[in-house]
Every structure is written in structure tokens, then in C-alpha cells.
Amino acid sequence: MKTITFALLLTGLAAAQTPKAKVAVTPKPAFDKSAFETYVRHLNVWPTAISMSIGDPKPSDLPGFYAVTVTASQGKSHGEEVFYVSKDYKKIVRGTVYDSAENPFKKNLDKLKTEGRPSLGTQGAPVVLVEFTDFECPYCREEAKKLRDNLLKDFPKDVHFYFMDFPLETLHPWAKSAAIAGQCIFKQNADVFWDYHDWIFEHQNDITTLNLDAKIMEFAKDKKVDGLQLSRCMANKTTEAEVVKTQEMGASLDVNSTPTIFVNGRKLAGAIDWPDLKRIIEYEIEYQKTAKNAGEDCGCEVKLPMVPGMKH
């Protein structure tokens, strides 16, 4: 037993004295932002006048790839795009990663917060339509008329429409003040808000920054709102935070023009003809009969709100 133990000790001592072979360690490649920017510029034919910012590689939903956010800007215009870069930084994938088990517009749906916003239609409808709009925008005026003339007439039970303020302040000097006033009216009387909505778009060409307040007060004379309360609300900008909130929501959804409409999360930027929008809504109604992954289809029956000028 002693001999065996001694032999083992000698073996261990020899092993301890024998130098271990060095294992070559391959250094982790570094992400070269400068080279990546050059590649993306060439890909998009972007001149140096376009400023670019390359984000750090972050974990992504695509296995084996990092997500790299590229921000490009020129003057007041800017945009973002996510590129997927392999972990050795040799391959680049351009596109959107979808999870087939989820709604393809889930990220948008998660950001669209509609509670407390002016709305028309049926609570629990299979289709939720959200519009980001600007009271001073001429394209928004045209879109508003299409929606008011057709939406609830063609879809009296299957659509719930939400209005979101998104005044483009750099282009439209009185749009934000009009949005603040609209929310002041909405807080007093939700039905009168829709009268205001129709009125301000109809009189858009007659309104200026100088006469806006006076014209709004004139509009409110014959409406079921307290004029003094409205005047104070407008002067103190009491509802500005709510307007800013929807502006921030729109920005998080990459809204950069008006009107922009989301149909169950599907983004439609710019004015859209009614037949085209109707077709998308009809498709979504049919799809949600089995998908049940968007809209407010809770199976409950809620009375349709009264809409000015419509019979129920």
C-alpha cells in the first residue's frame, strides 16, 4: 500500500513539474462602427450631408445576431433602421424579425395606449383604428372627412376609432394650441369634441395664430361647454401634457408625418383612399375571427356612442 501511494505521489509531482501546453485564444472581433457606416452609406447612396449615428450591438430576437440601430438625419428629417449583424460581424441582415406565434404588429400594439382618448365606434370591436393627426394639416382634413363620412356607416359595430393629437409644430404654428383646446373641450363634453373636430377642419383655411382663440370661443357659444372654464383651460394650457403624451407615443412608433393610421397595429403613413382603407379593415375583421390577437373583441355588447349627424 505504501509503494502504491509513493508511486502516485511521484506521478503527481511529475505532472506538476511538466509545463502545460498553451491554448491559443482567438480574440473576440471588435465591431468597427466606421467600417459599418461606410458600408451602410454605400448601400443607401447616402452623401456626407446625411449625418449618421451607429448604435452599439445589442441582443436581438434573431439567434446568432446582434441588433444595430442606425440613425440618419438631415436638417429636420431623421429616421432609424435596425440592422442585424452576425456575432463575427461578417454578415448583415436587413429586415424585420417576426415571431410566427405572435401578431406581426405586436410591438406597435404594445405602444398604442388608447385609454382616455376621444373615440367613436364599439368598445370590444375586432378592429381598432388609431389616427395620429394635426388640425392644421390639409391632408388630415381630407382624411378626417373620409373617415367621418364612411367609417361608422360601413362598419357600425366592427371598428373602434381613436383620435390622437400629433401637431407638427415646426410646420404648423397653431396646431398644438388647437390640440390643447380640443382636449379642453373633450374633458368637458366628449360629444362636443367631435363637433369641434369637424368644425376646425372645415374652417382650417380661415384660422390663424392670431384669431384661433377667438374663433374657438365663438364656436363654443352654442355648445354644451362652460365658456369661462374653456377659456381658462386654453390660457393655462391645462391639457398640454396630454397632447405631449400622444406626440411622444407617436414618436415611439416612428410617426413623422400626418395623417398616420394604425389598423390593429398595422401602420399606414400618409393619406389613404377610403376603398383601400376599407379593404384593409375588412381583411382584418375576417382575420380576427380566428386569430383573436388584436382589436378589443371581448365578446361584450356595448352601446354605440351617438355620432353627430348620424341616426342609430
Please provide residue 182's backbone torsions phi and psi, each rounded to the nearest 5 degrees. Answer: -60, -40
Residue written as cell 410646420?
171
- The answer to whether the CB of 116 falls within 8 A of the CB of 182 is no
Please provide residue 238's backbone torsions phi and psi, each rounded to the nearest 5 degrees. Answer: -60, -35
CA distance 237 to 247: 16
Q: What is the pLDDT of residue 19?
A: 59
CA distance 108 to 110: 5
Question: Could you tell me the mean pLDDT of each successive run of 10 residues in the chain, 312 residues long?
Answer: 43 52 70 94 93 94 93 81 93 89 94 96 97 98 98 97 97 98 98 98 98 98 96 98 97 94 97 97 96 75 39 35
pTM of the model: 0.77
Of 130, 169, 152, 170, which is closest to residue 259 (Cα–Cα)? Answer: 130
Q: What is the pLDDT of residue 3?
A: 45
Q: What is the pLDDT of residue 9?
A: 38
Q: What is the pLDDT of residue 11?
A: 46
User: Mapped to the 3 state alphabet, what secondary structure does 80-143 carry?
Assistant: EEEEEEECCCCCEEECCCCCCCCCCCHHHHHHCCCCCCCEEECCCCCEEEEEEECCCCHHHHHH
CATH match for 106-291 among 3.40.640.10, 3.40.50.300, 3.40.1210.10, 3.40.30.10: 3.40.30.10
Q: C-alpha grid cell for residue 139? A: 391632408
Q: What is the pLDDT of residue 312?
A: 34
Of 111, 117, 118, which is closest to residue 251 (Cα–Cα)? Answer: 111
Q: C-alpha grid cell for residue 64? A: 446568432
Q: What is the pLDDT of residue 136?
A: 98
Q: What is the pLDDT of residue 183?
A: 98
